[in-house]
Amino acid sequence: MRRRLALMLLGLLLGGPTLAADGASSKYRPLPGGRFESVLPADGKTAPAVLKPFRLRSEPVTNAEFLAFVKSHPQWRRDRVPGVFADGRYLSQWAAPDQLGPAALPRQPVTRVSWFAAQAYCESEQARLPTWYEWEYAAAADATRADARSDPAWRERVLSWYARPSNDALPPVGGKPDIHGVRDLNGLVWEWVEDFNAMMTSADSREQDGADKLKFCGAGAISMEQKENYATLMRVAMLSSLKATDTTANLGFRCARPE
């Protein structure tokens, strides 16, 4: 870990984006993509999502990695970030704007980051945030199956994580890898997606049929399918309620790249 970071820092110092990119690309795992039955049908009714092959960061971004980013991009320090990009709790668990401290261990996932900050970090790795479809597709996997969602035990595991009190300290990243070699999609932190502001679900499901034509151009709010996949629907509800400046104690992120 330390060596990888050192390499990345060296790359940055030498001004060599290639070297920095190489350091980061080992952290990205290829996923094949294809047609995927999302809880959010692409047309608002039944159409599956279609995903191009992409690469996903195998782990959420850690405090140590985000600290290195903040040091090389000081405009993202908590004492310098413009209010229009992050709320007042941004990185408030760190001991100082450029120091982690006891409440933010190096291998814990970074949290209290806004969508703007997460996107900026990903750009520094020549990447972007994953789309919701990419994230949901990746998170449907377990150790042996690319899509484990029909297994009640899988759903139970995700839901039992939600039930864990969120005031406990976060475990470090490094959960068991899934079939794609990706870790911690479920069970560690909630994660930002690039199109968090594309999840136009109504708070009240009864409103979804009568398309609110003045609010939504086109087909109206999308309806959520697969009601039995409650764990995923909860995540959609959470993401759709966020503003891009919001930062919370259990919301982190990882990055993705096109193949």
Partner 1 sequence: MKRLLPLLFVLLCAGVAHAASPLPSDSLYQLTVPLTDQDGHTASFAARRGTPQIVSMFYTSCTMVCPMIIDTMKATRRAAGEPANLHLLAVSFDPERDDVDALRRYAAAHKLDLRWWTLARTGPRDTRALAALLGVQYRKLPDGDFNHSSALLLLDADGRIVARTNIIGRTDPEFVAAVRKATAK
Residues that bind partner 1 in the complex, under the rule CB under 8 A: 42-44, 47, 82-85, 115-116, 119, 128, 194-200, 213-222, 240, 243-244
Q: How far is the CB of 150 from partner 1 (least distance, A)?
A: 25
Q: How far is the CB of 115 from partner 1 (least distance, A)?
A: 6
Q: How far is the CB of 2 from partner 1 (least distance, A)?
A: 32
Residue 7, amino acid: L
Secondary structure tally for the chain: helices H, strands E: 7, 7
CB nearer to partner 1: give 71 or 128: 128
**Torsion 164-246-214-218 (CA) sign:** negative
Q: How far is the CB of 218 from partner 1 (least distance, A)?
A: 4
Residue 161, amino acid: W
Element of type H or E holding 19: helix 17-25
**Close Cβ partners of 98 (under 8 Å, ≥ 6 residues apart):** 67, 70, 71, 77
CB nearer to partner 1: give 68 or 199: 199
CB nearer to partner 1: give 173 or 221: 221
Please tell me what DSSP assigns to residue 178: -
CB nearer to partner 1: give 67 or 199: 199
